[in-house]
Structure 1
Amino acid sequence: MLRRARIGLALGGGAARGWAHIGVLQTLTEAGLAPDIVAGTSIGAVAGGCYVAGKLPELEEFALSLTKRRVFGFLDFNFNGSGLITGKRLCGELDDHLRPVQIENLERKFVAVATEYGTGHEIWLSKGRLVSAMHASYALPGIFSPVNINGRWLMDGALVNPIPVSVCRALGAQVVIAVNLNRDIFGRGTIVPDHEATDEGPQGLEDLARARSSR
C-alpha cells in the first residue's frame, strides 16, 4: 500500500497580511489536508503555532475583534532604544490561550524561525514555550524589542528566512505547501536548529553547534 507523502506547511511573514494564513489553514482543513510539519516566520509563526495548538478559532476571533482603538491598546511603548514597542501586551494576549503549551508536546512538528541579533544567524525554535517562540519570531527590529531566549537576543525571522520552506524540507517534508504574502524573496543565514524557547537562563548553543559540526 502506498504511503502518503509527508506534507510540510511553510507560512511566511507579512505583518497584517498574515491574517490571510487563517483562511489558508481553514481551507486546508476543509480539504482534508493535514500537514505533518508546520514552520512559520513572524506572523506565520503565530498563525502556525495557534493552528498546531488547536487555537485557530481563537486567533480568528482575535483578528476579527481588532479595531484601531484596540490595536492602540496593544502598543506598550518602550523608550530604552531597543524597539518602539516591547510587545509584552500582545504576548500576554497569546499567553491567555497558550501559556502552558510546549512546542515538543504538540501533535505535529512545529518550528518558529527567528534571527539572532548581532550575528544574523537563523534560529529554529523547536522546543520550549510556544508563546516565547512566537514572540521572538515576530519581533520586528525597530518596532518590537528583541526577545531574550537562552541568553540570545532574537528578532523577526523574516530577516533571514521569510518563507521557511527549507525548514520543512530539513524536517523531512516530501511535499511543501508554501504561503508567500510578499513578492518572491528568499532567506539566507547560518542555521542553529533545535533551539529551545524558554524563559530560563543561557544554555550552551555553542556546545550544540560544536557537537553537530563534529558529526
Structure 2
Amino acid sequence: MSADDALPEGLSGNEAIRAAEERAERTRARNRPQWDDLPIPDDTANLRLGPDLNEALLPLLPLVGVWRGEGEVVYPTIDGPFHFGQQISVAHDGRGFLSWEARAWLLDGPGGAVVRPSAREVGWWRPQPDGTIELLLAHQTGIVEIFYGTGRTQTSWELTTDAVVRTASAKEVTAATRLYGIVDGGDLAYVEERAMMGQEMQPHTSARLVRVAG
C-alpha cells in the first residue's frame, strides 16, 4: 500500500458539506481539558476558544482539534496485522507551533474491545517561513524523531525523518515517512512507513480519525 492509497476517495461536494456541518454541531463546543487557573494561555484544540491562531500556523489550521478513530499496524517483524484505536490532540497557545499528543490502544479486531494501551507520542509541529515544516516527536519506546516536510495541498502534509535518535533499550528505527490528509467530510487520515529492525522502508501504520472536539 502506498501513501496515496491510504487517503480514501472523497465524497461528493454536497455529501462532504453535509457531513461536515453535522459533525460541527457536535464538536464546536468541545475542547481538550483546560487549566482555568494557569497564569499563561492554555493550549486550545478549538479555534473558536482560547488565544487567536498565530498567522504562521495557517498552513496547518485544518489539523487543529481532537481526533479519534481506528487504524491498522503491519510489519514483517510482527504477527499482525493488528487493529488499534487512537486519539490525537492538536492544539496551540497562540504562538507559532502546534502541540501534538497521540495515544493508541490495541483492539481485538475492527471496532472490537480494548486489549491494552499501546503507543504514545508527544511533539511539536513548527512551520517555517520558507514553507517547510519541522516535526519533533518523542515516543514512550525511547525513540526521538525529527521530520522535515511540506504541505502537498492545503489539506495534506508529507514528512520524512532527517534524524532518528534512540536510547540503549529502544528497538532499531532508522527512518520514517508520514502522510496526513483531511478527507471525506473532514476526517483525518494518515499512513506511516518505517525502516526498522533491519527491514527496508515499507507501510507500518495507517488510520482514519473523526474530529471529536474543535
TM-score of the pair, normalised by structure 2: 0.29
Higher helix share: 1
Higher relative contact order (CA 8 A, sep 6+): 1
Higher strand share: 2
TM-score of the pair, normalised by structure 1: 0.29
